[in-house]
């Protein structure tokens, strides 16, 4: 026997019943997006590598260490499995001139890929929900996308997620802050770890996000970006805070919140939980007003967020929020295989009328079929016995209500009584 082939490390299968939790989550997201008037966009999993180098920044961790990149053996193109969703969505909007008639509110659901050490909350193939609002420059849409997350937490039954916000200002303000950061860290170079020294001149803002306990006091004493913000940037941030306050949404201003991509400006935010250990961020995003032009389009503002589905589902489990699992309305018990043609016609008519019917397959005694009917959690058993069929009827037996009586239904018009089987 051949040796079994296993999945690639860090890329996981999702099987029932877990897949039902994913479907429930995705259905919840789609309903939310409809309420907020966001439309679905679907982009390729594979993009040209320069899209991410240009869009995310050449010295970001994602581009330097985590991308699955390769050369197309057919034509020599340099390609990458998408590590995040925003750059691809912006590329699609630019390529198809989607902003010609005004702003667009978009969302996506799909797999992303990063080559990193698999651990809880971090996988090499992971899945994201993301929203991108393109063509809107004001803090009103910043508040909208943040409050959309709050609505999703409520829909999912999550109540223990904290909001952190910050403003990164504009590029020239960040440049002034960057110079001050470099001077601060240069003066204490002996306290920097190897990673911080590597980033000192290439991306000093990321040093603020270090998890090294030995550097925390040094980072706390570093110059704060908010002290370098001009009047327009502060007005934008104040506008966002005013709308969050009016909506009753608590938040913490976190001056060390910088996010991992170079394209962010002004508003950045994260939704964080203490229930998932070190991987506590379950949603993060912000404004990227320069990205459309960077990718080749006419200048247009944008803001969005990305949410890790695996982390959200993990959090739901930690908090014992259990979505309802799908169960059939009815289970068809067929004592005689010779009746299957008639049974098939009947249950197909029921399915067409919206009833979920599971057909017993493989034969077996009535006793064994009833055991499987009960195990299916179906509300009713449809018994296609010889006596019932001779009368042109099927017996409908309640399986979850011991006080309810078994009744007969006519085979001639299943659609007329299908509604009695559907879950209320």
What are the residues whose beta carbons fall under 8 Å from the beta carbon of 32, sequence distance 6 or more?
A: 148, 151, 152, 155
- Alpha carbons within 13 angstroms on the beta-carbon side of residue 125 total 11
**Cα distance between residue 199 and residue 196, in whole Å:** 5
Length of the chain: 424
Q: What is the pLDDT of residue 135?
A: 97
DSSP state at residue 175: H
Give the closest residue to 265 by CA, choosing from 297, 247, 292: 292
Q: What is the DSSP string of 67-88?
A: -EEEE-TTT--EEEE-S-SHHH
Q: What is the pLDDT of residue 190?
A: 85
Q: Which two tokens stand for residue 155?
A: 């829909």
Q: What is the mean pLDDT of each run of 10 residues along the chain (424 residues)?
A: 90 92 96 98 96 80 85 90 95 96 97 87 90 97 97 91 93 89 88 86 80 87 90 96 97 84 86 79 93 93 96 90 90 92 94 95 89 94 93 94 90 93 84
Give the closest residue to 102 by CA, choosing from 37, 43, 151, 146: 37
C-alpha torsion sign, points 168, 174, 178, 184: negative
CB 303 within 8 A of CB 145: yes
Q: What angle, rounded to 10 degrees, do the helices at 86-95 and 49-56 form? A: 110
Q: Helix, strand, coil shares of the chain as percentages rounded to 5?
A: 40, 20, 40
H or E stretch covering 26: helix 18-36
**Cα distance between residue 347 and residue 344, in whole Å:** 5
- Token pair 């050369």 is found at 71
C-alpha torsion sign, points 350, 351, 357, 361: positive
What are the residues whose beta carbons fall under 8 Å from the beta carbon of 95, sequence distance 6 or more?
A: none
Q: What is the pLDDT of residue 139?
A: 97
Q: What is the DSSP string of 379-405?
A: SEEEE--HHHHHTTEEEEEESS-TTSP
- Residue 263: CB atoms within 10 Å: 23
Q: What is the pLDDT of residue 199?
A: 83
- Token pair 């040093």 is found at 207
User: Domains in the chain, start-ordered, CATH in brackets?
Assistant: 18-169+229-318 (3.30.930.10), 330-420 (3.40.50.800)
Q: With b meaning 16 or more CB within 10 Å and e meaning fewer, what string describes 314-344?
A: bbbeeeeeebeeeebbbbbbbbeeebeeebe
CB 398 within 8 A of CB 331: no
H or E stretch covering 239: helix 231-246
């Amino acid at each position: 026997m051949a040796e079994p082939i296993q999945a690639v490390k860090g890329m996981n299968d999702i099987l029932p019943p877990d897949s039902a939790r994913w479907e429930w989550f995705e259905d919840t997201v789609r309903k939310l997006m409809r309420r907020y008037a966001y439309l679905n966009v679907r982009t390729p999993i594979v993009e040209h590598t320069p899209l991410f180098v240009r869009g995310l920044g050449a010295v970001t961790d994602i581009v330097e260490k985590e991308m699955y990149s390769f050369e197309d053996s057919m034509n020599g193109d340099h390609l990458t499995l998408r590590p995040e969703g925003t750059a691809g969505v912006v590329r699609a909007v630019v390529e198809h001139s989607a902003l010609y008639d005004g702003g667009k509110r978009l969302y996506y659901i799909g797999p992303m890929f990063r080559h990193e050490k698999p651990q809880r909350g971090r996988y090499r193939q992971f899945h994201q929900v993301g929203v991108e609002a393109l063509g809107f420059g004001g803090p009103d849409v910043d508040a909208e996308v943040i409050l959309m997350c709050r609505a999703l937490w409520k829909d999912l039954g999550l109540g223990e997620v904290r909001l952190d916000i910050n403003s990164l200002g504009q590029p020239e303000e960040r440049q002034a802050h960057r110079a001050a950061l470099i001077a601060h860290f240069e003066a204490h170079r002996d306290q920097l770890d190897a990673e911080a020294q590597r980033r000192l001149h290439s991306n000093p803002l990321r040093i603020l996000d270090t998890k090294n306990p030995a550097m925390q006091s040094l980072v706390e004493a570093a110059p704060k970006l908010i002290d370098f913000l001009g009047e327009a940037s502060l007005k934008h941030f104040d506008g966002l805070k005013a709308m969050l306050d009016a909506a009753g949404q608590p938040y913490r201003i976190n001056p060390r919140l910088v996010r991992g991509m170079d394209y962010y400006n002004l508003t950045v935010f994260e939704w964080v939980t203490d229930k998932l250990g070190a991987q506590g961020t379950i949603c993060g995003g912000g404004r990227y007003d320069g990205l459309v032009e960077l990718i080749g389009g006419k200048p247009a503002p944008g803001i969005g967020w990305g949410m890790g589905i695996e982390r959200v589902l993990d959090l739901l489990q930690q908090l014992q929020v259990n979505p309802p699992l799908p169960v059939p309305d009815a289970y068809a018990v067929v004592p005689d295989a010779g009746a299957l043609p008639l049974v098939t016609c009947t249950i197909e008519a029921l399915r067409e009328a919206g009833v979920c019917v599971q057909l017993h397959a493989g034969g077996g005694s009535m006793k064994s079929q009833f055991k499987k009917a009960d195990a299916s959690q179906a509300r009713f058993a449809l018994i296609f016995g010889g006596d019932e069929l001779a009368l042109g009827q099927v017996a409908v037996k309640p399986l979850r209500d011991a006080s309810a009586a078994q009744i007969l239904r006519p085979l001639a018009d299943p659609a007329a009584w299908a509604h009695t089987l559907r879950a209320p």
